[in-house]
Amino acid sequence: MDLYELLESTLAGLGYELIDVERSARGRLLRVFIDKPDGVGVDDCVAVSNHLGRLFAVENIDYERLEVSSPGLDRPLKKVSDFIRFAGESVKLRLRVALQGQRNFVGILREVNDGVLKLEVDGKVLDLELNNLEKVRLVPKL
């Protein structure tokens, strides 16, 4: 089982969703981003950090520093379930391969079906292949 799968199953058991995992170039810093429906607070991060510290000792995961954090207001969207959950929200995205000469878009996430994300930009709906998405983030509501 790789690190991502281990974290995903462990966090689901604790009632959290794994958003992302980052490792520093030398692998010494391990950064884990978590979420749950009613949001993540400092107490959640402490509890998850303590649990993961014990888990990593048992699983012999080598790291020097562990950081557990919420994904922030501009949460990244990576999985199909993310796109479904946040339908109707404003997103900022970057494509791997340009569409009509453009790679960056800001619009309203409408739906996702059969590997295609529908994004409304200036009243027009664009069909974007999921495998062409490089980065997608929520636009924070302030």
37 in a domain, yes or no?
Answer: yes
Burial of 22 (0-12, 13-18, 19+ CB in 10 A): exposed
Residues 48 and 86 in one domain: no
**Mean pLDDT value across the chain:** 94
Mean pLDDT of 22-47: 91
Residues 59 and 89 in one domain: no
Mean pLDDT of 97-124: 95
Q: Could you read off the pLDDT of 51-90 as tens digits, one per residue?
A: 999 999 999 988 899 999 999 999 999 999 999 999 999 9
CA R_g for the chain: 17
pLDDT of 27 > 70? The answer is no
Residues 65 and 87 in one domain: no
pTM here is 0.82
- Expressed as residue numbers, the domain containing 129 is 80-138
Q: Return the CATH number at 95.
A: 2.30.30.100
Residues 95 and 48 in one domain: no
pLDDT of 9 > 80? The answer is yes
Burial of 91 (0-12, 13-18, 19+ CB in 10 A): buried
Domain count of the fold of the chain? 2
Final residue of a domain: which of 69, 100, 121?
69
